[in-house]
Amino acid sequence: MARTSRITTGTDRRGARLAAEPDLEPDLEAEPGLAAGPGLATAPPPGAAVLSDIADPGLALTGLPGIAWAERAMPVVGMLRAEFAGRQPFAGLRIACCLHVTAETAVLVRALTAGGAEVHLAASNPLSTQDDIAAALAAEQRVTVQARSGVDRGAYYEHIHAALDCEPDLVMDDGCDLVNTLHTERADLARGVRGGCEATSTGAARLRRMAADGSLRFPVVAADASATRRMIDHKYGTGQAVLDGILRATNTLVAGKTVVVAGFGPCGSGIAERARGLGAQVIVTEVDPVRALGAIMQGFRVLPMAAAAPMGELFITATGSRDVIGEAELAVLPDGAMLANAGHFDVEIDVPALAGLAVTINPAIRPHADEYVLGDGRRLILLAEGRVVNLVAGEGNPAAVMDTSFAVQALALAWLAGAGLPGAGPAPEHGGQVLDVPAAIDAEIARLTLASLGTRIDTLTDAQVRYLRSWQEGS
């Protein structure tokens, strides 16, 4: 693949600025093959550079301080970066990624390239893209970035196709859109993929459905199933970040409000606890009887959404499903009710139904807050267009949380690439299956995290080991 000696710019058919990745060869001004239509792309001609599609290459220096700040809060990924630099687990491999383009993701990308990878990054949510971070990454060696804040659906999928044009050996996904596109529109490339890693529970659910009907072509690790990640990322990270995003968008006082949290999984339970900690009266809605019982035992009131809808002042969805708040619920929400989504996709709140009920829409009455005025005069406030509120209205999970999440994914990808990990055993070389994170990876991430915190723990004595392994010893 030819490279350029500096970032150069051109213009694509949408008028967007294009930046070629930096490297060592003469300047290259020609564009790669562009999409033939929304969601469809043609591969670049052989030997052509894959160009970055970013908002403004001039923002590169602006993005560096944010990346440096994230690196300070991500010591575990930093340890893995140093380790990868030594053993080169990704030497000669191309990794296509569809992730939120944030400072924390930049820290992960640097760890992968330190391990020898060539990384092609597309944004997993246009509204969470930080253009300065995209520019800073596009200026780095062996990295291309397909991400501009606020692009439409067509450009979103063009970016995914552009990332796949590298003909990846490994993939990293956040919601399964890249893997889905790889199987439906770029199936010719799927044969060359060794494996992948999926960050979200929503994406993992899609992958399991693909595996069940025999469509999945390669093994994918469900990073979301990691015990370490679920505890730190979902419960504490998402719980805090969702409330942070809502407060930035509304500047509302949570204390005393009735907050309805739809879903009491790892994310929903964290959100409910943070809201209660801020003084809210929290109602939980659920479809799972075990989770509903757990909410009751933790002191939350549990109701069906139909019963909770007339009572709530702030609604937060975190289910991974669709139409959790539909037209029937919207019709009875109180005046001034605020609606926020913490799920991966923008389908949990029925935004088309909300628009259909409205006689007037007042966009951006505050940043990331749109007012819908209904025929009876009620005003409903939709936050972040119904997209994931902690990433659109806020900055996502804190860097310290993403440290654990990205460390799990980086080690899982190294394992799939064939890098040995004591206790993990060999990764499967083929077959469409969704894999749990090996326990050895979970344990290693927890060990490194504790070490970064300066925390020491006990170790079992020989007598304790013998006792725990024996079925013959009793009281």
Do 382 and 405 share a domain, yes or no?
no
In 10 A of CB 461, how many CB atoms? 9
CB–CB of 292/286 below 8 Å? yes
Q: pLDDT at residue 454 above 90? A: yes
- pTM of the shown model: 0.79
Question: Is residue 154 in a domain?
Answer: yes
Do 294 and 441 share a domain, yes or no?
no
Lowest-pLDDT range of 22-31, 87-96, 142-151, 200-209:
22-31
Phi/psi at 15 (5° precision)? 85, 10
The neighbouring-strand residues paired with 321 are: none
Task: Give pLDDT, residue 58.
Answer: 96
Collapsing DSSP states into helix, strand and coil, what is residue 356?
helix
Task: Give pLDDT, residue 421.
Answer: 61
Do 203 and 314 share a domain, yes or no?
no
**Is the pLDDT higher at 274 or at 202?**
274
Do 61 and 22 share a domain, yes or no?
yes
Do 387 and 412 share a domain, yes or no?
no
Do 135 and 262 share a domain, yes or no?
no
Spatial separation of the C-alpha atoms in residues 290 and 359, rounded to whole Å: 41
Average pLDDT over residues 250-272: 97
Question: What type of residue is 141?
Answer: Q
Phi/psi at 51 (5° precision)? -95, 150
Average pLDDT over residues 327-336: 98
Task: Give pLDDT, residue 332.
Answer: 98
Residue numbers of the domain that contains 331: 236-392
Q: For residue 230, what are the CA distances in angstroms to 56, 118, 405?
A: 35, 29, 9
| CATH number for the domain that contains residue 144 | 3.40.50.1480
Question: Is residue 463 in a domain?
Answer: no
Collapsing DSSP states into helix, strand and coil, what is residue 292?
helix
Written as one string, the DSSP assignment of 400-443 is: HHHHHHHHHHHHHHHHHTT---TTT-PPPSS---EEPPPHHHHH
Q: Note the pLDDT tens digit of each residue in 359-413.
A: 999 999 999 999 999 999 999 999 999 999 999 999 889 999 999 999 999 999 9
Do 260 and 370 share a domain, yes or no?
yes
What percent of the chain stands above pLDDT 70? 87
Do 198 and 72 share a domain, yes or no?
yes
Average pLDDT over residues 304-308: 98
Task: Give pLDDT, residue 77.
Answer: 98
Q: 136: closest CA among 107, 93, 173? A: 107
Q: How far is CA 75 from the centre of its chain?
A: 20
Average pLDDT over residues 326-340: 98
Q: Note the pLDDT tens digit of each residue in 16-69.
A: 333 433 332 323 222 233 233 333 333 344 444 569 999 999 999 999 999 999
Do 168 and 98 share a domain, yes or no?
yes
pLDDT band at 315 (very low <50, low <70, confident <90, very high): very high
Angle at 400 between CA 170 and CA 282, to 5 degrees: 105
Task: Give pLDDT, residue 127.
Answer: 87
The neighbouring-strand residues paired with 314 are: 259, 338
The count of structural domains within the chain is 2
Q: pLDDT at residue 228 above 80? A: yes
Question: Is residue 458 in a domain?
Answer: no
Q: Token digits for 339? A: 């609606």
pLDDT band at 425 (very low <50, low <70, confident <90, very high): low
Question: Is residue 407 in a domain?
Answer: yes
As a whole number, the mean pLDDT across the chain is 88
Residues 6+ apart with CB under 8 A from 172: 95, 96, 97, 98, 99, 196, 197, 199, 409, 413
CB–CB of 110/86 below 8 Å? no
Beta 338-341 vs 220-222: how paired, if at all? Answer: unpaired
Q: For residue 23, what are the CA distances in angstroms to 113, 140, 142, 458?
A: 14, 9, 8, 49
Do 130 and 208 share a domain, yes or no?
yes
Query: Considering 372, 392, 412, which residue would you say is the last residue of a domain?
Result: 392
Q: Note the pLDDT tens digit of each residue in 122-162.
A: 999 998 999 999 999 999 999 999 999 999 999 999 999 99
Average pLDDT over residues 460-470: 94
Do 44 and 80 share a domain, yes or no?
yes
Task: Give pLDDT, residue 201.
Answer: 86
Question: Is residue 2 in a domain?
Answer: no
Question: Is residue 474 in a domain?
Answer: no
Token look-up 């995914």 returns 160
Task: Give pLDDT, residue 46.
Answer: 42
Question: Is residue 460 in a domain?
Answer: no
Do 263 and 208 share a domain, yes or no?
no
